[in-house]
Chain A
Amino acid sequence: MNPDAATIAAGAPIEVDLSPVAEGQDIKVFWRGKPIYISHRTKKQIDEAQQVALSSLKDPEADSARVKAGHDQWLVVIGICTHLGCIPIAHEGNYDGFFCPCHGSQYDSSGRIRQGPAPANLEVPPYAFLTDTKIQIG
């Protein structure tokens, strides 16, 4: 009853071209049936994310642990709220991050939970930079 071979094959890694994504913009792609937000963060968002004290976070994680070295303007997170699975809205909420309309969870510009009932940060999927403007998710 575990995922069959076709489902696993359909879940193979995908490549995403980042060049059309402007600074401050984000796009949503689907991988393995899940929505993935790819955010081209502004300097303000990066600074805000890096300057947060870890002790104030419900799920402490440094911003550097959630992005790839040398590419910290790119945030890639799975757009599924860790509470009960709704899709948060990008560029909303008090932290210039994500806001989930179902029960009010708010994530910051690094996708970390700051407010609301969700227990964990938005999951970072496995991905790698093939070139400066192309990533492979999965």
Chain B
Amino acid sequence: MSGPSDFQPSNPALKWIERRLPIFGLVHSSFVAYPTPRNLNYWWTFGAILSLMLGLQILTGVILAMHYTPHADLAFKSVELLVRDVNYGWLLRNMHACGASMFFFAVYIHMFRGLYYGSYKEPREVLWILGVIIYLLMMATGFMGYVLPWGQMSFWGATVITNLFSAIPYVGKSIVTLLWGGYSVGNPTLNRFFSLHYLLPFVIAGVVVLHVWALHVAGQNNPAGVEAKTEKDTVPFTPYATIKDMFGVSCFLIFYAWFIFYMPNYLGDADNYIPANPGVTPAHIVPEWYYLPFYAILRSIPNKLAGVACMFGAIIVLAFLPWLDNARTRSSKYRPLAKQFFWIFVVVCVLLGYLGAQPPEGIYVIAGRILTICYFAYFLIVLPLLSRIETPRPVPNSIADDVLSRSKGKVATAASIMVAMVVAGGLLAGSTQSAKAEDDTPPSQNWSFSGPLGKFDRGSLQRGLKVYKEVCSACHSLNYIAFRNLADPGGPGYSEAQAAAFAADYKIKDGPNDQGEMFDRPGRPADYFPPPFPNEQAAAAANGGKAPPDLSLITKARGYERGFPQFIFDFFTQFQEQGPNYVSAILQGFEDKPPAGVTIPEGTYYNKYYPGHAIKMPKPLSDGQVTFDDGSPATVAQYAHDVTTFLMWTAEPHLEERKRVGMQVFVFLIIFAFLMYFTKKKVWADAH
């Protein structure tokens, strides 16, 4: 639909370039004059949204890569230092991590749109297959990206997924060794994943160029599934589609901003705030939400090789869609049976996603098997059958006719689709947490930092620092906090002089001096809190065999299941205080004697909220242990509350800034969305 352009720029300089490289003509014919169907709905804005997300991921990723260190010993710390010290590092990191989820959210809607409206049918088969290739590349990129922070989930997810390739007969083990670059997931693995993670997005960009090219050759599909015949059927891309895409993008950005600024860890796993440990497997290894349906399919098949084959097959089958479904009617709007099966398929996908996050026991296994069969049946049985036996409704004569016959019913359909998508999205998002709820759930406490207007209580932070210093620091390090952080805005609120004086109280090991010896000197603001033990082995030896964990990130590295449907409500109420609730509960949950009939191993202590109830740490807090200058009660409950607030600050020093900037961004985006909406309505006034 777009041929050589007769566009000539009027500016002589631009004319000069145009004669030598007709780039302005290309842009004009592809994105300005390009005829786009008049009856497109908002599901068609996701192509533009995806292009934006790819651009954003590349931009934020390139800047993050300037500060990230891809070495197994340094990666985790480099990400934390990035978030804490790099200017707006927290924003870059949140944009990139949440951006990956948004990228997949948009791509799934984009794909479901293609499924529903038959966008894969002739002559768009190559366009569709290019899309499947882009999707596969996205999955590879996302997988490798998640490994880079080198947390527990990064490491163990990499172990499980790379192990899958060992299922391939004969060459499996060699392939896995090649992937690892060693005998197990380790530093060579991290290095090569970083290299490929940087490379693949540019490969994706290249395939996207082919994808848009293939699209422009065939022209866009539209909700009626009827090809554009006359000029009355189309409008020029600019300003019509451009402004509609701008509005769609601004709404999407609001959704994206909700995650970046208010729920940055909702889609992630708390375990990834624990540095990778090859000797300890987490209790639940769960991939990111966008892989969950395929993970469920993998685990449903009892045979290792067949499971791997089915998992990849579930993606590859998409490429065959144009031939599996060769019904002549494109759009499911006019295919009543196909439409119903489509929605059933959507539900199957969402449920598979939910199952992927559950432990593979009992009813979950049976449900997984049934749903896997349903998934494949849709492509291999239902669609081919329907294309033979279904009688479609009559399609409109032309796009222009379709636009003229628009009725109010469409609004209802669109609304119910939105609701379905929101529920599906919420379920998928919440399904990162598995279903089993502990009986001893930590009680929900009130935290001053919760909610969109949350702030740290300065007094609480200072009291918490005192508790840490006088009680916890004997065994627990605080490696990511420097003395200068105590004077940072959004923190305990000490002055720089006070922070320097605080630092000077500490003895810091430094050296070697000119004689080659290590020496002690007083602390300076740039120094970090010194650990109580010189290394992990000493820490373990002094504490009954288990090194006490570093506390800097503990409130983000712990959590508990909120259960269904609570996790859906949590998304809307911005609840993300599982970690602080847990830490506070542990500190107050010690009991002198285990309840009747319960025995705990020698050398452990009974704690009501600790999973398994037997914790190696003795009760650290007692009433009267720490006296506060401001007269706050010297009780365990007060200590627990204050030290947990302090530890929430150590886990996220920029929390207040994040929420404040978030509020500004939201106000801007909402105003912007309104402006875009009204502009769109004005532009489209004559086209409707």
Contacts and interface: CB of A to CB of B under 8 A. Distances in A.
Interface of A: 1-4, 7, 11, 28, 30, 32-35, 83-87, 101-104, 117, 119
Contacts of A32: 182-184
22 contacts: A1-B178, A1-B192, A2-B177, A2-B178, A7-B186, A11-B182, A11-B183, A32-B183, A33-B278, A34-B183, A35-B279, A84-B163, A84-B285, A85-B160, A86-B156, A86-B160, A86-B281, A101-B281, A101-B283, A102-B281, A102-B285, A104-B361
Given A28-B279, A35-B279, A84 B160 contact: yes
Given A35-B279, A84-B160, A85-B160, A4 B188 contact: yes
Contacts of B627: none
Nearest to A119: B304
Nearest to B303: A119
Q: 3 closest Cβ contacts across the A-B interface?
A: A33-B184, A32-B183, A86-B281
Contacts of B360: 103-104, 117
B387 interface: no
Interface residues of B, number: 29
Contacts of A4: 181, 188
Contacts of A35: 278-279
Nearest to B174: A2
Given A35-B279, A85-B163, A3 B182 contact: yes
Contacts of A104: 360-361
B150 to A, nearest CB: 14
B280 interface: yes
Interface string B274-295: 0000111101010000000000
A87 B177 contact: no
A14 to B, nearest CB: 13
B534 interface: no
Interface in B529-576: none
Contact of B279 (A2, A87, A101, A103): A87
B182 A87 contact: no
Interface of B is mostly: loop
B302 interface: yes
Given A7-B181, A103-B360, A117-B302, 18 more contacts: A1-B181, A2-B177, A2-B178, A3-B177, A3-B182, A3-B183, A7-B183, A33-B183, A33-B184, A35-B278, A84-B163, A85-B156, A87-B281, A102-B285, A103-B299, A104-B360, A117-B360, A119-B303
B188 A3 contact: yes
Q: Most A CB atoms within 10 A — which of B182, B283, B303?
A: B182
A3 B184 CA distance: 10
A35 B159 CA distance: 13
Interface in B152-202: 156, 159-160, 163-164, 177-178, 180-186, 188, 192
A85 B281 CA distance: 9
Interface in B327-375: 359-361
Interface string B296-316: 000100111000000000000
B304 A83 contact: yes
B66 to A, nearest CB: 26
Contacts of A83: 304
A11 B361 CA distance: 37
Nearest to A84: B160
Contacts of B156: 85-86
A34 B184 contact: yes
A85 B283 CA distance: 13
B174 to A, nearest CB: 8
A22 to B, nearest CB: 16
Contacts of A33: 182-186, 278
A33 B178 CA distance: 15
